[in-house]
A = this chain, B = another copy of it.
Amino acid sequence: MTVRKYFRQGRASPFEYTWPAGRGIPGWVLQHKVPYGTSDAAHDPVMQHDLPINVDVRSIICTPILSSFGEVLGYFDIRNKQDAEGFTVADQDMLMALAPAASIAIQNALAYQQRLSAETELQESYERLRALAANLEVVREEERTQIARELHDQLGQALTAMKFDLAWLTNRIVDKDEALGQRAKAVTTQMDTMIKTVRRIATELRPGMLDDLGLAASIEWLAHDFEKRTGIICLTTVTVPDVPLPRAPSLTLFRILQEALTNVARHANAQLIEVRLDATPETVTLQVHDDGRGIQAGEAAGLHSLGLLGMRERAQRLGGTFDIRGVPGDGTIVTVIIPVKSN
């Protein structure tokens, strides 16, 4: 049993001491789990007379504070009863009556401490997991970029070069054999399709246009492409056409828009989507408003939608906010605000 503080008239003083079972009066109480008192402390054999705290003690009473499981959690130790020889049975009863409340207080405090450290541990795991999730997306974007680059550099460029070789060959073949030349032309056409396919796969993997054309144009392209594929009309309003953004927030907004549009196509039953991109010197705001059935508050809480959670995580990673709310009869509005570091 270790004591770290000693309370004297309601004020705590530091007092570091560990009582082994059987050592001193608290040690005796720890061992026997019943009160111990004396009116002649100076001659008491249990008392540790070498402890500075025990100097000038005449009378003393010490009662255990027991836990619900009967273990000693602490003790009351009262000294030098004023205007009396020593402590009475009534004093002892009073202290014992105090013990249960003190016991509950101590047990609660211990439980609180355990909770606190459990929570701290959980919080650390949470932060690590969050970093992992962020990293998974970074790695995925890197992988996409790498594949897109391989496709472009190793396939796209080689295919283009081959196409020119073929075209050159075809011209010469046509001169010699019209029919054979037509066959060669057909292969060249196939080659064109090939090049387009490579370009499409690469673009889907990594919107290179973000670097080339900027966010506004990329968003317009995405909306147009979405409209073409789903038949849902997708209007874009860009109030600041040339938002100069670094790659990270651009990509985040682009991916969130992709996910938001996918969600609309899957769940909203919408006919029209309005996409707005607004910017101030401090923030960029993306808003996606569809005219579908309107997300329910429960769904929006995102307990079950990993897509929503992913969008929120992406926004928060850049210090931004993500909000989704549904209005029955007025569809769903997704709002993402990303802070922009001013130079």
Question: Measuring CB to CB, which residues of chain A are less than 8 angstroms from any residue of chain B?
Answer: 94, 97-98, 101-102, 104-105, 108-109, 111-112, 115-116, 118-119, 122-126, 128-133, 135-137, 140, 143, 147, 150-151, 154-155, 158-159, 161-162, 165-166, 168-169, 172-173, 176-177, 180, 183-184, 186-187, 190-191, 193-194, 197-198, 201, 205, 302-303, 306, 309-310, 313
Contacts and interface: CB of A to CB of B under 8 A. Distances in A.
Contacts of A122: 119, 122-123, 126
A112 B108 CA distance: 7
Given A108-B109, A123-B122, A193-B158, A183 B169 contact: yes
A183 B145 CA distance: 34
Contact of A201 (B111, B116, B147): B147
Nearest to A310: B132
A166 B180 contact: no
Given A129-B129, A136-B133, A303-B128, A194 B108 contact: no
Contacts of A135: 306, 310
A162 B183 contact: no
Contacts of A130: 129
Contact of A155 (B123, B147, B155): B155
A4 to B, nearest CB: 17
Given A112-B108, A115-B116, A119-B122, A151 B201 contact: yes
Contact of A119 (B94, B115, B184, B306): B115
A82 to B, nearest CB: 16
A187 B165 contact: yes
A176 B102 CA distance: 107
Contact of A101 (B102, B118, B131, B198): B102
B169 A187 contact: yes
A155 B156 CA distance: 11
A98 B21 CA distance: 28
Given A119-B119, A180-B173, A194 B155 contact: yes
Contacts of A94: 94, 97
A260 B309 CA distance: 29
Contacts of A302: 128
A223 B316 CA distance: 39
Nearest to A161: B190
Nearest to A110: B108
Residue among A119, A130, A197 facing the most chain B CB atoms (10 A cut-off): A119
Contacts of A133: 129, 132-133, 136
A172 B180 contact: yes
